[in-house]
Amino acid sequence: KAGVTQTPRYLIKTRGQQVTLSCSPISGHRSVSWYQQTPGQGLQFLFEYFSETQRNKGNFPGRFSGRQFSNSRSEMNVSTLELGDSALYLCASSLDGQTGANVLTFGAGSRLTVL
Amino acid sequence: AQSVSQHNHHVILSEAASLELGCNYSYGGTVNLFWYVQYPGQHLQLLLKYFSGDPLVKGIKGFEAEFIKSKFSFNLRKPSVQWSDTAEYFCAVNAGWSNYQLIWGAGTKLIIKP
């Protein structure tokens, strides 16, 4: 079956702009999580959605937001971009992220460069 | 705050050497433990996991990890590495105290010299 699909794969923006990233989870997976990956920082958790509701949120400013649609597809938005937002943004899906036994399946990521 | 520590950020080994990557977490109680791997140009993928039972778990490509509860550790091992093991390795933990969100280590970049 198809994996987790993220679009776009690469994008370049300038400071002050906003960006929207998209994630299509594996069919049947209802939980979608977003992470920011930067060199030396590892993976930082942004938020997790399940059935169109945000269940968990990491320690990121309000400029970072997301949503999930009825078909489980998810988008994240970053407004007023800063240079420090340059990173690989990863989406991961699982059947139900609210139990410890769930394994995440990751997409290839969207690499954002802010100039 | 709860955290996951990976002791080595960069490891360089020759082929056939033995590998052990350290992972420690800071909170007791029941935990679920994971190692994920990111090969160059590829997606993050699950290497192995521990939920309960035998504390020695085996994963893909000959990797194994041992959960030592008293040491809050979940070290990754491989007796003989190959050039194709060059990758970044991430340890992650979840539990009720993290609302089952994964808490990630910073990652270890492993380079295998042919």
pLDDT top residue among A100 and A39:
A39
Instruction: State pLDDT tens for residues B57-101.
Output: 999 999 999 999 999 999 999 999 999 999 999 999 987 767 777
Amino acid (1-letter code) at residue A71:
N
User: B17 to chain A nearest CA, in Å?
Assistant: 25
Q: What is the structure's pLDDT at B96? A: 72
| Rounded Cα distance, A34 and A20, in Å | 13
| Band of residue A61 on the pLDDT scale cut at 50, 70, 90 | very high
Q: Is A22 on the interface with B (CB under 8 A)?
A: no
User: B68 to chain A nearest CA, in Å?
Assistant: 18
Q: What is the structure's pLDDT at B13? A: 97
Spatial contact of B38 and B46, defined as CB atoms under 8 Å apart = no
Q: Which residues of B touch A102 (CB under 8 A)?
A: 100
Instruction: State pLDDT tens for residues A29-47.
Output: 999 999 999 987 788 999 9
Q: Give the best residue of A32, A33, A105, A106 to mutate against chain B (max B CB count within 10 A).
A: A106
Please name the member of A40, A90, A102 whose beta carbon is closest to the beta carbon of B44.
Answer: A90
Size of interface A-B (CB pairs under 8 A): 53
Q: Are strands B108-113 and B44-50 parallel, antiparallel or unpaired?
A: unpaired
Query: Which three-class secondary structure state does DSSP give residue A8?
Result: coil
Q: If you write DSSP's letter for every residue of A24-93 in order, what string do you get?
A: EPPTT--EEEEEEEETTTEEEEEEEEETTEEEEE-S--TTEEEEE-TTS-EEEEE-S--GGG-EEEEEEE
Q: Which residues of A touch B95 (CB under 8 A)?
A: 100
Q: Is A95 on the interface with B (CB under 8 A)?
A: no
Q: What is the structure's pLDDT at A78? A: 98
Kindly identify which residue of chain B lies nearest to residue A108, measuring between CA atoms. B43
Name the average pLDDT for chain A. 92
Q: Is A108 on the interface with B (CB under 8 A)?
A: yes
Q: Cα B84 to chain center, whole Å?
A: 17
